[in-house]
Amino acid sequence: MSFEKLGLVPELLSAISELGYTKATPVQKKVIPFVIGGKDVMATAQTGTGKTAAYALPLLQILSKRDIKEKTKRIIRALVLVPTRELAAQVEKSIKLYGKNFSLVSCAVYGGVKFTPQTKKLERGVDILVATPGRLLEHVKQGNINLSKVEIVVYDESDRILDMGFWEEIITISSMIPKKRQTLLFSVEQSKSVKKFSELTLIKPVKVTINNQGDLAKKVRQTIYICDQDKKSALLSYMIGSKNWHQVLVFTKTRKSADDLGKYLNESGLKTLILHGEKAHSKRTKALKDFKNGTIRVLVATDIASRGLDIEDLPHVINYELPGDAEDYVHRIGRTGRAGNLGEAISLVCKDERKVLKDIERLLKYGLQVEFFEGFEPKEWIEKEANKHTIKAKIERSQERRSKTANSVVGMRRKKANDRNAQKKATVKKRKKVTKRD
Ligand code: AMP
């Protein structure tokens, strides 16, 4: 469906056409008309489905129609709450791109960076604020943010916000926003806490569910390589090198394994940077920038990067270790196969991870293709195969022996029969001679 049919104004149509969007994605088709119509919306959709535009486009349209006079100081009229700094930066960037033909001002505030530049921006006046809950409340405490004029609030990836333990913060923030407002609640999964929160915050919401597990299977080729834990780093570096991949996002389960793997890959000659929560924000931003522009070949990240990381055309995602939570598998592999492109997700799975693999398959509702990578087959499998070969060889040897024995028995029987025949012939000949003489 084209964006014109969704009721978007020309300023937005021209901005998204410049971005190359020609058709609305399913979540955009379903959500945009309701938001324009002023409804509360509760939507379940994976990352990578175009959900940011699904709320940001109508939000911009609504605010632009009620744009304030030039001289009045801007005050926050839309608030977008997100779980991570990466997603905050990403969402604000999208809002700026979509709203380039309006005079609306947006700003993102999140932790891990200095307060002052954010405070200065807030002081100049902002229409749309994108924020993580912790830093938002710190600004509120310092008197830098006033939420009393918010007209639209978006909770993006609310399940993740709540999973991260921000329940109280979210309730506090919601209580600061006027009751008369429009609320849009987005989540990847319909968890119990999202449901509970939705009951507290939404009024007669329109419910939209985009079932995209099947889409994921169509967009992303998923392969599981069973291998030994201690061979994973060698296999990974061999795979990247031999297949000549140049932009690979690798996920590890812990910060330590991200650090160890990063070191190993750099030593193997693959330019690698590491992204995890312990890294300073400036280092995280630089790692992302270098990865996006191709300065580095591999980015090793913990799950912090599995959401909110949008790199167009990311061709390969590798799970060096499966995540503890099956849902994170979906987020991780959702980093590839985005915006209509095909992607590839490879998981290196060792014996201890087979239970998580089963959980993932249960969540996906289909089995994943399991293979061995030649030369990196797990020891257990090699032993089993070797054992099979030994048994096979034993069987062949005994068959050989049996057939030899059988041959010699047959030979002996044949010899005996031949001897008997010869003896018979000799006796007959003798008798004939005797009869002639008589
Ligand atoms: P999101 O799920 O919001 O993180 O979006 C995933 C990616 O899809 C981003 O790179 C968007 O720029 C892109 N995108 C969103 N909507 C469309 C569309 N209608 N057509 C093409 N690309 C889109």
Ligand 1 near 368 CB (within 6 A): no
Model pLDDT for residues 174-183, shown as the tens digit of each residue: 999 999 999 9
Whether 68 shows a pLDDT value over 80: the answer reads no
Give whichever of 111-125, 323-337, 388-402, 423-437 has the largest mean pLDDT: 111-125
| Mean pLDDT within 59-76 | 81
CA 57–ligand 1 middle distance (angstroms):
12
Q: Which of 119-123, 213-217, 287-291, 361-365 has the lowest mean pLDDT?
A: 213-217
| pLDDT the model gives residue 77 | 97
pLDDT attached to residue 76: 96
Q: Across residues 76-89, what is the average pLDDT?
A: 94
Most confident of 345-349, 359-363, 367-371, 387-391: 345-349
CA distance 45 to 98: 20
**Which tens digits make up the pLDDT trace of 92-112?**
999 999 999 999 999 999 998
Closest C-alpha to 98, from 128, 136, 118, 132? 128
* Ligand 1 pocket check for 70: Cβ under 6 Å: no
| Ligand 1 pocket mutation, candidates 5, 12, 13, 19, criterion most atoms within 8 A of CB | 19
Q: In which band, very low, low, confident or very high, does the pLDDT at 315 lie, cut at 50, 70 and 90?
A: confident
Q: What is the mean pLDDT of residues 33-57?
A: 92
* pTM (whole model) above 0.85: no
Q: Is the CB of 47 under 6 A from ligand 1?
A: yes
Report the pLDDT averaged over residues 56-72.
82
Q: Which band of pLDDT confidence, cut at 50, 70 and 90, is reported for residue 436?
A: low
- Provide the pLDDT for residue 126: 96
- pLDDT value for 337: 75
- Ligand 1 atom with minimal separation from the 19 CA: 12
Confidence of residue 292 (pLDDT cuts 50, 70, 90): confident
Predicted local confidence at residue 347, as pLDDT: 96
Residue showing tokens 């750099």: 266
Q: Whose CA is nearest to atom 11 of ligand 1?
A: 50
Ligand 1, atom 22: closest residue by C-alpha: 339
Share of the chain above pLDDT 70, in %: 90
Residue-averaged pLDDT of the chain: 87
pLDDT at 307: 61
CA of 375 to the centre of ligand 1 (A): 39
Which position has the higher pLDDT, 366 or 178? 178
pLDDT in tens, 371-426: 999 889 888 877 777 776 666 677 777 777 777 766 666 677 777 878 888 888 88
Atom number of ligand 1 nearest to Cα 21: 20
Higher pLDDT, 336 or 265: 265
Residues 161-173 have a mean pLDDT of 92
* Cα of 31 from ligand 1 centre, angstroms: 14
Pocket test for ligand 1, best of 21, 22, 212 (most atoms within 8 A of CB): 21
pLDDT tier, 363 (very low <50, low <70, confident <90, very high otherwise): confident
Sorted by where each starts, the structural domains of the chain and their CATH numbers stand as 3-211 (3.40.50.300), 214-379 (3.40.50.300)
User: Which ligand 1 atom minimizes the distance to the CA of 20?
Assistant: 21
Residue 270: per-residue pLDDT: 93
Decide if pLDDT at 154 tops 90.
yes
| Ligand 1 center to 244 CA (angstroms) | 28
Which of 65-69, 184-188, 329-333 has the largest mean confidence? Answer: 184-188
Find out whether the beta carbon of 338 lies less than 6 Å from any atom of ligand 1: yes
Q: What is the pLDDT of residue 369?
A: 83
Q: What is the pLDDT of residues 224-262, one digit of tens each?
A: 999 999 999 999 999 999 999 989 999 999 999 999 999
What is the 204 CA–ligand 1 centroid distance (Å)?
28
More reliable by pLDDT, 43 or 68:
43
